[in-house]
Amino acid sequence: GQNIDQPTEMTATEGAIVQINCTYQTSGFNGLFWYQQHAGEAPTFLSYNVLDGLEEKGRFSSFLSRSKGYSYLLLKELQMKDSASYLCAVKNYGQNFVFGPGTRLSVLP
């Protein structure tokens, strides 16, 4: 089977750092993706990892360990506009995307 797990909800304070974890078991691996989704809107692409290690993009970083089936998204200097759902997705061997349930992040002043 295919399964992706993420925490359901997280809360953090403006200006802080938050780490959103994702664990996966999929039929093959062709990359791990993070998306941001504001309520009622389409998901927007944040980052992509295909090799182990850290990818940094401004305030956002994503880490991957393929041997552990584990990734995290790190958000620094949190802003109110970062309040959204964060979706972890894996592209499997068949090139199909498998999405996790999403983590709803609330940023408090």
Partner 1 sequence: EAQVTQNPRYLITVTGKKLTVTCSQNMNHEYMSWYRQDPGLGLRQIYYSMNVEVTDKGDVPEGYKVSRKEKRNFPLILESPSPNQTSLYFCASSTIRDRLPEAFFGQGTRLTVV
For residues 11 and 26, give the distance between their C-alpha atoms in angstroms, rounded to a whole number.
28
For residues 23 and 97, give the distance between their C-alpha atoms in angstroms, rounded to a whole number.
15
Query: Cβ–Cβ contacts within 10 Å for residue 12, how many?
Result: 18
User: Per CB under 8 A, does 44 bind partner 1?
Assistant: yes
Least separation in angstroms between CB 97 and partner 1: 5
Type of residue numbered 34:
W
User: Per CB under 8 A, does 105 bind partner 1?
Assistant: no
For residues 39 and 57, give the distance between their C-alpha atoms in angstroms, rounded to a whole number.
23
Binding mask 68-97 for partner 1 (x = CB under 8 A): -------------------x-x-x--xxxx
Q: Between 11 and 13, whose beta carbon lies closer to partner 1?
A: 11
Residues at the site binding partner 1, with contacts judged by CB under 8 A = 30-31, 33, 40-45, 48, 50, 87, 89, 91, 94-102
